[in-house]
């Protein structure tokens, strides 16, 4: 239960950090909050030769209001800061609703916003919310900067579009359109445990009360965030009555193929996915109407 030896670097600027990643590539791991990496190292599931600790890079911290009503969040912003941000509550209520579900307060004090996204654990909340809100993930390396859509960023179990020399530096969250409601819900055995299933819904109503846009994204249902396009198409252009939402939850089933594990069987996850679809879509619709 002790980590293997490694070389430790603690750069104080982004340029220094990127130079280290360029020099060491695959051999190096970025240490952000460390709340997933250090347990993996304690178990020796991860034995990186080099750790690049970016905690001293203070320019990567901050929550900024963008002119278009959106948000820009620095990768090293602690999860607890996002959770308690009035700006996040006002501009990205889905994110504010989700944050308390991430592990425990002690973990969120240390865990970072960008770290959780870059780790891409399929059971974690932020990747699903990133897809639901259409976030843009900005990566940088010594070769330059590029923007990656959340949908393209998550590529499977702990796998992302990031190259070994790239670092996630900030995340852009677009403004919510008018008449939009959002909701998050998950089912876990105990508060703070990994959820057996969770869902994020974003619903935009047209002026006539029909659904103009809809996203339903799951965590813990596949090896990356799983978006149900069938549920969305079932709802597009219709008035979201209870029956319509129920039908969308039924349509969702063809988009998922959950696996069973010691926490939940595949059949139970499938059941949860349906219940969560109904709950999150119904609350998102109710909030969009207000």
Partner 1 sequence: MSHEITLTVNGHAHTRTVEARLLLSDFLRHELGLTGTHVGCEHGVCGACTILLDGVPVRSCLTFAVQANGHEIMTVEGLGHDPENLHPLQQSFWESHGLQCGFCTPGFLMTLLPFLQENPDPSEQEIREAISGNLCRCTGYQFIVDAVKLAAQKMGEPQP
Interface mask (CB under 8 A) for partner 1, residues 105-144, using x and -? xxx-xx----------------------------------
Report residue 75 CA to chain centroid gap.
12
Q: Does 262 bind partner 1 (CB under 8 A)?
A: no
Q: Does 222 bind partner 1 (CB under 8 A)?
A: no
Pick the binder of partner 1 from 64, 104, 146, 189 (CB under 8 A). Answer: 104
Q: Does 27 bind partner 1 (CB under 8 A)?
A: no
Of 109 and 265, which has the nearer Cβ to partner 1?
109
Q: Does 175 bind partner 1 (CB under 8 A)?
A: no
Of residues 78-97, those binding partner 1 (CB under 8 A):
80
Q: Does 10 bind partner 1 (CB under 8 A)?
A: yes
The arrangement of strands across the sheet holding 28-31 comes to 7-9, 50-53, 28-31
Whose tokens are 């069938």? That residue is 230
Q: Does 268 bind partner 1 (CB under 8 A)?
A: no
The answer to whether the beta carbons of residues 158 and 57 sit under 8 Å apart is: no
* Count, residues near partner 1 per rule CB under 8 A: 32
Q: Does 32 bind partner 1 (CB under 8 A)?
A: no
The answer to whether the beta carbons of residues 71 and 61 sit under 8 Å apart is: no
Minimum CB–partner distance for residue 269 and partner 1 (Å): 22
Pick the binder of partner 1 from 16, 53, 163, 253 (CB under 8 A). Answer: 53
Q: Does 65 bind partner 1 (CB under 8 A)?
A: no
Of 134 and 192, which has the nearer Cβ to partner 1?
192
Pick the binder of partner 1 from 42, 58, 142, 241 (CB under 8 A). Answer: 42
- Count the Cβ atoms, other than its own, within 10 Å of residue 246: 15
Distance CA 277, CA 11 (A): 44
Of 3 and 134, which has the nearer Cβ to partner 1?
3
Minimum CB–partner distance for residue 279 and partner 1 (Å): 20
Pick the binder of partner 1 from 38, 46, 161, 247 (CB under 8 A). Answer: 38
Q: Does 191 bind partner 1 (CB under 8 A)?
A: yes
Q: Does 192 bind partner 1 (CB under 8 A)?
A: yes
The answer to whether the beta carbons of residues 136 and 170 sit under 8 Å apart is: no
Quick one: which segment of 14-22, 27-35, 174-182, 258-266 binds partner 1 (CB under 8 A)? 27-35
Cα→Cα distances 89→65, 73, 83, Å: 12, 13, 8
Residues that bind partner 1 (CB under 8 A): 1-8, 10, 31, 34-35, 38-39, 41-43, 51, 53, 55, 80, 100, 103-107, 109-110, 190-192
């Amino acid at each position: 239960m002790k980590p293997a030896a490694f070389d430790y670097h603690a750069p104080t600027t982004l340029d220094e950090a990127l130079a280290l990643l360029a020099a060491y590539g695959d051999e190096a791991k970025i240490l952000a909050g460390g709340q997933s990496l250090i347990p993996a190292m304690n178990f020796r599931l991860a034995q990186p030769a080099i750790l690049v600790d970016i905690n001293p890079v203070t320019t990567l911290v901050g929550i900024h209001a963008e002119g278009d009503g959106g948000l820009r969040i620095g990768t090293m912003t602690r999860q607890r800061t996002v959770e308690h941000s009035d700006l996040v509550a006002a501009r990205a209520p889905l994110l504010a609703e989700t944050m308390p579900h991430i592990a425990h307060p002690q973990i969120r004090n240390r865990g970072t916003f960008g770290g959780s996204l870059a780790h891409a654990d399929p059971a974690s909340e932020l990747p699903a919310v990133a897809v639901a809100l259409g976030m843009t993930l900005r990566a940088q390396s010594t070769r330059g900067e590029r923007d990656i859509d959340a949908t393209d960023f998550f590529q499977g179990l702990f796998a992302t579009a990031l190259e070994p020399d790239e670092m996630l530096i900030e995340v852009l969250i677009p403004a919510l359109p008018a008449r939009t409601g959002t909701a998050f819900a998950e089912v876990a055995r105990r508060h703070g445990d990994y959820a057996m299933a969770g869902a994020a819904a974003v619903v935009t109503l047209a002026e006539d009360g029909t659904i103009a846009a809809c996203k339903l994204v799951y965590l813990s249902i596949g090896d990356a965030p799983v978006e149900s396009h069938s549920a969305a198409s079932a709802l597009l252009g219709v008035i979201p009555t209870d029956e319509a939402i129920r039908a969308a939850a039924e349509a969702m089933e063809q988009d998922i193929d959950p696996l069973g594990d010691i926490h939940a069987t595949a059949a139970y996850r499938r059941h949860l996915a349906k219940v969560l679809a109904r709950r999150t879509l119904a609350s998102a619709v109710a909030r969009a109407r207000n």
